[in-house]
Amino acid sequence: MKLSSFQTTIENQFDYLCKRGMEDERIDYFRHLSRISKQEVSFSDTGEYLINQFFTVDNYTTDSQFFAVYGYNIGVESDLLSEALRNQTNKKRNIILLYYFMDMSDTEIAELLKVNRSTVYRHRTSGLAFIKKYMKEHDE
């Protein structure tokens, strides 16, 4: 059966509109991809600061060694530092833990321990020197 010229014209117009619509969609899609690609950054090109935001570290109480100091439980994560602190005298260890982990001043520690501030300072500095020496000797 032969189609009339009017019907052929209508089919050709419909065919043209379908093809034109598909071509316009294709062009829009490539424009969209172009806009996205201008904003994308390769993961290998990102800086350390940005990469460091993509991970978390879980901290568990079993990973720390705890020291009881005047009602405070102070957790130390480093095994080497914990070992060095355990080899200190109780007074020096307590002063170091209170100063560095509880952010107490020498004056506050002196009032808590009922000693002079200069005694706290002397014990703290000698204790730190011992820890530094101990950690250098036992560092793996």
The range of the structural domain enclosing residue 78 comes to: 61-138
Please list the residues that pair with 100 across neighbouring strands. none
**129 and 100 within one domain:** yes
Closest CA to 70 of 94, 90, 100: 94
On whether residue 54 sits in a domain, the answer given is no
pLDDT tens sequence across 113-122 = 999 999 999 9
**121 and 76 within one domain:** yes
**119 and 69 within one domain:** yes
pLDDT tens sequence across 42-51 = 777 777 877 7
**85 and 16 within one domain:** no
**44 and 65 within one domain:** no
**130 and 82 within one domain:** yes
The reply to whether the predicted model has a pTM over 0.85 is no
Tally of CA atoms within 13 A in the half-sphere of 88 that contains its CB: 28
**68 and 125 within one domain:** yes
Are 75 and 47 a contacting pair, CB within 8 Å? Answer: no
pLDDT tens sequence across 20-35 = 999 999 999 999 999 9
> For the chain, what is the domain count?
2
**134 and 79 within one domain:** yes
On whether residue 11 sits in a domain, the answer given is yes
